[in-house]
A = this chain, B = another copy of it.
Amino acid sequence: MKTKRTLRRPFFVVNPKAYLYGEESLKLAKVADQLADKLDIDILFTVQQVDAAKIKAETKHLFITVQHLDGLTVGRGMGYILPEAVAAAGVSATFLNHAEHPMAVSDLVKAVKRADELGILTIVCADSLTEAKACAALNPDIMVCEPTELIGTGQTSDLAYMEATNAAIRAINPKIKILQAAGISTADDVEKALLSGADGTGGTSGIVCAKEPAKVLTEMLQRVDALKQGGKIK
Residues A77 and B131 in contact, CB atoms below 8 Å apart: no
Chain B residues near A131 (CB-CB < 8 A): 105-106, 109
Chain B residues near A18 (CB-CB < 8 A): 72-78, 80, 82, 85
Please tell me if A48 contacts chain B, counting CB pairs below 8 Å.
yes
Within 8 A of B (CB), among A136-195: 136-138
Chain B residues near A135 (CB-CB < 8 A): 105, 134
Residues A50 and B86 in contact, CB atoms below 8 Å apart: yes
Please pick, from B84, B91, B126, B134, the residue contacting A21 in the complex, using a CB distance under 8 A.
Answer: B84
Please pick, from B15, B22, B97, B98, the residue contacting A89 in the complex, using a CB distance under 8 A.
Answer: B22
Residues B130 and A85 in contact, CB atoms below 8 Å apart: no
Chain B residues near A105 (CB-CB < 8 A): 97, 102-105, 108, 126, 131, 134-135
Chain B residues near A196 (CB-CB < 8 A): none
1/0 contact string of A112-145 vs chain B (CB within 8 Å): 1100000000000011101101111110000000
Chain B residues near A227 (CB-CB < 8 A): none
Please pick, from B17, B77, B101, B108, the residue contacting A100 in the complex, using a CB distance under 8 A.
Answer: B77
Please tell me if A218 contacts chain B, counting CB pairs below 8 Å.
no
Residues A49 and B81 in contact, CB atoms below 8 Å apart: yes
Please tell me if A219 contacts chain B, counting CB pairs below 8 Å.
no
Please tell me if A5 contacts chain B, counting CB pairs below 8 Å.
no
A17-B76, A134-B134 given; A102·B106 CB < 8 A: yes
